[in-house]
């Protein structure tokens, strides 16, 4: 058996093995090579043709039920799709529509919401963003202050959202807003609204990241009128609605593949620069590969339990912590492997493709902070899993 | 995270947990150490009676026809309760005897399975220790040295395994000398010296011996890791209980975030290690594994168990520094099992060699 850190374990189920082979062949024939292993960000508009291709093949929403245009696939099949797409360095579609709001609408949305929003998410026609964070509400998300006040048939929204991935490309935002300022505890007065970002009173401003691109944005809402039928789930139960997501979404955002791809880049770059001859590099690489192997095993174990409806409470925070920290360590090794080229702004050419170690590393800073910092995840495990006292 | 087990495995794990709780425990481990013995003979009889050795033996040879995965379920519980018994070694010997398929092997296996005789492997993987190994002295007699053989002090016979020969050698055979050293946890390792020794039975030679020996070494490495993982989990449980109760500054120390995060890191470390161990054990049983995975398991488990037991000592404060508190014994046992069949450094280097080639 040859060592390949992107496919560490054999699929248990013969049907899964066959599915993997089918996906691998199709991806090889259809992958948009110009988007593969790109060191610069691929913004949503550029991703649309690839999104559409996956949609036409019927593979864009493996986890959605068949009646809504999905595959009704097992979690393992979803993971296989994700793995085989990212294996060749191709981008996977952004998760905000397909993995976040889509499943929420399917679960708690009205028939009208389903009819209006689900088809364009599948085709890639609409781009979604998540309006959760505010300047004063990061790790302490329940402190959010942006208001939605019911006025007849509409909510009137005022406030500010920030760190919104793809906010400046998005057509729609699913937002957590305060609808009852007096509620105790504070997360009891929050609702989820679907907001058309073309509405009057919305101003969107991109924010340049540490990496140097505009990955996210901030949005200002001044007396924005949102139809009442855009309330997702019951009034003042937005917190509960949002929490339905935590879990399966982690299977794509925290996939071990992210670290595997970075480690393979580190290996290539080390060959180029000669760092591969340094004993310290080999030691770090081996330790990281071993931790990656353990995380891959955990990940598959968790997916198998999740598929049986028996995933433990620790699963989502563990995947978030380990996936993030491992990816980060791998990206740091990539920069170290680059030696004197590490801090350079330009790409490094390796054969027919390019790597940008510093950019890769900067991008990985997000993963231990975004959607719940790893410290918060540790608090969750301490309290809810280990039963440690307050 | 719970393992995905079939009915038989779930039953085995449950029985193992009960038996280890009843027949193991740090108190008994300490008594064994203080008496200068290298294992708990009474607990060992219970383990033999429970049939754990049979997990890895084919049904036609009187076993349960399961695999290393199933044995690991029992080893993990033994480790968790510091049950001092040669389970990993005896199971490995039994597994090789079962695979050898000769009449002599069959008879020896029966004696091992019913507890009449203890047979332990004496092998020297190139990945740990320095050089050496057994050499064929002549057509009939063996000569050489195998260091760091656990439980050799109490064994009736050795399963000598090299790349050239796999054979059984009785301890009382002329030319066999055993020199024993005690380890910090009370267990022993011995240097087994052979000078013109005539084996009681030869099980394999040449390519067959090489294959069998490689499989035996990987089996031992995974089995030791299973016991070590259980030990780390046991130390972590004890520590969680302690920090929930121990009061300072008017509240349980487990309410402080610094200690909570330390406990969480130990929890995650163990969880990932458990998934890895059982995944690789299942792959070992199915024959779909890469040797690098075996080294990954031992490198990682050694590091994990030492980190978890060290953190456990720290969180126990001054009482962790005493001989009378259990947690110190867990640390010592972790040191012994982490080094057995190669620790983090040796196995990381082997992993590197196997994956970067």
Q: Which of B276, B273, B350 is nearest to B305 (CA)?
A: B273
Q: Which regions of chain A carry the CATH code 1.10.540.10?
A: 14-93
B131: pLDDT strictly greater than 80: no
Question: pTM for the whole thing?
Answer: 0.94
Count of C-beta atoms within a 10 Å radius of residue B61:
18
Measured between CA atoms, how close is B69 to chain A, in angstroms?
Answer: 14
Q: Measured between CB atoms, does A293 come within 8 Å of chain B? A: yes
CATH 1.10.540.10 fits A14-93, yes or no: yes
Q: In angstroms, how far is CA B28 from the centroid of its own chain?
A: 18
Residue of A8, A14, A297, A320 to mutate for B, most B C-beta atoms under 10 A: A297
User: Which residues between 309 and 328 in chain A have a beta carbon less than 8 angstroms from any beta carbon of chain B?
Assistant: 310, 312, 314-315, 318, 321-322
Residues B13-34 have pLDDT tens digits of 999 999 999 999 999 999 999 9
What percent of chain B clears pLDDT 70, i.e. is strictly above it? 95
Q: How far is A390 from chain B (nearest CA, A)?
A: 5
Q: Is B10 on the interface with A (CB under 8 A)?
A: no
ipTM beyond cut 0.90: yes
Taking the C-alpha atoms of residue A208 and residue A325, their distance in angstroms, rounded to an integer, is 23
Identify each DSSP E strand in chain B by its residue range.
119-123, 133-136, 142-150, 157-161, 165-170, 176-182, 188-197, 201-205, 247-248, 251-252
Decide if A382 and B278 are in contact by the 8 Å CB cutoff.
no
Q: Which domains does chain B have, with CATH numbers?
A: 209-356 (1.20.140.10)
pLDDT value at position A2? Answer: 67
> Do A149 and A156 meet the contact criterion of CB atoms below 8 Å apart?
yes
Strand partners, A160: A220
Cβ separation of B1 and A385 shorter than 8 Å?
A: no
Q: What is the mean pLDDT of residues B267-273?
A: 98
**Cis-peptide, bond into residue A368, ω within 30° of zero:** no
B145 touches chain A (CB under 8 A): no
| Alpha-carbon span A40 to A214, nearest angstrom | 11
Task: Flag if A310 and B240 touch (Cβ within 8 Å).
Answer: no
Of the partner residues B1, B251, B275, the one whose CB lies closest to the CB of residue A294: B275
CATH class of A250-385: mainly alpha
State the nearest Cα–Cα gap between B227 and chain A, in angstroms. Answer: 17
Q: Note the pLDDT of residue B139.
A: 44
Q: What is the CATH number of domain A128-236?
A: 2.40.110.10
All residues at 6 or more sequence positions from A219 whose CB lies less than 8 Å from its CB, including other chains: A131, A160, A161, A162, A164, A167, A173, A197, A202, A203, A204, A205
* C-beta separation of A237 from A200 below 8 A: no
Give the pLDDT confidence of A118-158 residue by residue, as tens digits. Answer: 999 999 999 999 999 999 999 999 999 999 999 999 999 99
- Intervals of CATH 1.20.140.10 along chain A: 250-385
A67 burial type by CB count under 10 A (0-12 exposed, 13-18 middle, 19+ buried): exposed
B313 contacts: CB under 8 Å, gap ≥ 6: B320, B321, B327, B328, B331
Question: What pLDDT, on a 0 to 100 scale, did the predictor assign at position A372?
Answer: 85
Cβ contact (<8 Å) for A286 and B271? Answer: no
Task: State whether A298 and B1 contact (CB < 8 Å).
Answer: yes
What one-character DSSP code corresponds to residue A148? E
The 3-state DSSP class for residue A278 equals coil
The pLDDT of residue A74: 84
Parts of chain A with a pLDDT under 70: 1-2, 246-250, 252
Look at A312 and B2 and tell me if their CB atoms are within 8 Å. Answer: yes
Residues B150-166: what's their mean pLDDT?
94
CB contacts, 8 Å: B243 with chain A: 388
Measured between CA atoms, how close is A222 to chain B, in angstroms? 40
Mind giving me the DSSP string for A37-77? T-SS---HHHHHHHHHHHHHHT-S-TTS-GGGTS----HHH
């Amino acid at each position: 058996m040859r060592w390949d850190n992107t496919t560490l374990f054999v699929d248990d189920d013969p049907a899964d093995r066959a599915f993997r082979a089918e996906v691998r062949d199709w991806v090889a024939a259809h992958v948009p090579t110009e988007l593969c292993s790109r060191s610069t960000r691929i913004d949503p508009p550029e991703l649309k043709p690839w999104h559409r291709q996956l949609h036409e093949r019927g593979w864009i929403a493996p986890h959605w039920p068949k009646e809504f245009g999905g595959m009704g696939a097992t979690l393992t099949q979803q993971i296989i799709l994700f793995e085989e797409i990212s294996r060749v360095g191709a981008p996977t579609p952004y998760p905000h529509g397909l993995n976040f709001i889509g499943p929420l609408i399917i679960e708690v949305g009205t028939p009208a919401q389903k009819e209006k929003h689900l088809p364009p998410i599948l085709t890639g026609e609409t781009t979604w963003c998540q309006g959760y964070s505010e300047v004063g509400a990061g790790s302490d998300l329940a402190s959010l202050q942006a208001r939605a006040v019911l006025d007849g048939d509409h909510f009137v929204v005022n406030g500010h959202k920030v760190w919104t991935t793809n906010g400046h490309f998005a057509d729609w935002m699913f937002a957590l807003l305060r609808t009852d300022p007096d509620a105790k505890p504070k997360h009891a007065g929050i609702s989820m609204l679907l907001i058309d970002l073309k509405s009057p009173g919305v101003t969107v401003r991109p924010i340049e990241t540490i990496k140097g691109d505009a990955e996210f944005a901030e949005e200002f809402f001044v007396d924005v009128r949102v139809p009442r039928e855009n309330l997702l789930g019951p009034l003042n139960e937005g917190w509960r609605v949002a929490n339905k997501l935590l879990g399966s979404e982690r299977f794509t955002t925290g996939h071990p593949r992210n670290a595997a791809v970075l480690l393979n880049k580190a290996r290539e770059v080390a060959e180029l620069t000669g760092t591969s001859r340094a004993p310290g590099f080999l030691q770090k690489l081996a330790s990281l590969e071993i931790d990656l192997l353990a995380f891959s095993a955990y990940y598959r174990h968790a997916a198998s339990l999740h598929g049986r409806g028996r995933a433990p409470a620790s699963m989502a925070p563990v995947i978030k912590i380990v996936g993030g920290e491992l990816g980060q360590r791998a990206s740091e090794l990539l920069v170290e492997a680059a030696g004197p080229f590490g801090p350079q702004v330009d790409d490094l050419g390796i054969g027919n493709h390019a790597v940008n170690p510093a950019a890769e590393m900067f991008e990985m800073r997000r993963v231990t902070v975004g959607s719940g910092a790893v410290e918060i995840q540790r608090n969750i495990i301490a309290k809810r899993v280990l039963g440690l006292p307050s | 995270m719970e393992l995905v087990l079939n009915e038989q495995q779930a039953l085995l794990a449950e029985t193992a947990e009960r038996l280890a709780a009843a027949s193991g425990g740090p108190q008994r481990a300490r008594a064994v150490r203080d008496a200068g013995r290298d294992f708990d003979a009474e607990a060992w009889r219970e383990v033999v009676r429970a049939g754990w050795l049979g997990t890895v033996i084919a049904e036609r040879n009187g076993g349960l026809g399961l695999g290393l995965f199933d044995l690991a379920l029992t080893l993990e519980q033994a480790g968790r309760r510091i049950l001092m018994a040669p389970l990993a070694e005896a199971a490995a010997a039994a597994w090789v005897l079962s695979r050898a398929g000769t009449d002599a092997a069959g008879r020896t296996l029966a004696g091992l399975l019913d507890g009449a005789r203890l047979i332990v492997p004496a092998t020297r993987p190139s990945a740990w220790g320095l050089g050496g190994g057994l050499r064929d002295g002549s057509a009939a007699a063996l000569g050489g040295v195998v260091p760091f053989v656990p439980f050799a002090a109490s064994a009736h016979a050795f399963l000598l395994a090299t790349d050239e020969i796999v054979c059984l050698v009785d301890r009382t055979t002329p030319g066999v000398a055993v020199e024993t050293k005690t380890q910090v946890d009370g267990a022993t390792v011995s240097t087994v010296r052979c000078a013109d020794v005539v084996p009681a039975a030869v099980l394999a030679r040449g390519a067959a011996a090489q294959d069998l020996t490689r499989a035996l070494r990987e089996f031992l490495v995974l089995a030791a890791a299973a016991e070590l993982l259980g030990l780390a989990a046991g130390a972590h449980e004890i520590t969680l209980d302690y920090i929930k109760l121990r009061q300072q500054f008017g509240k349980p120390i487990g309410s402080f975030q610094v200690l909570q995060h330390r406990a969480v890191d130990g929890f995650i470390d163990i969880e990932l290690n458990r998934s890895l161990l059982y995944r690789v054990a299942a792959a070992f049983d199915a024959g779909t594994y890469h040797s690098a995975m075996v080294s990954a398991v031992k490198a990682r488990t050694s590091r994990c168990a030492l980190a978890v037991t060290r953190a456990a000592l720290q969180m126990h404060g001054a009482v962790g520094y005493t001989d009378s508190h259990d947690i110190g014994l867990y640390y010592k046992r972790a040191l012994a099992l982490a080094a057995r069949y190669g620790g983090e450094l040796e196995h990381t280097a082997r992993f590197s060699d196997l994956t970067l080639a």
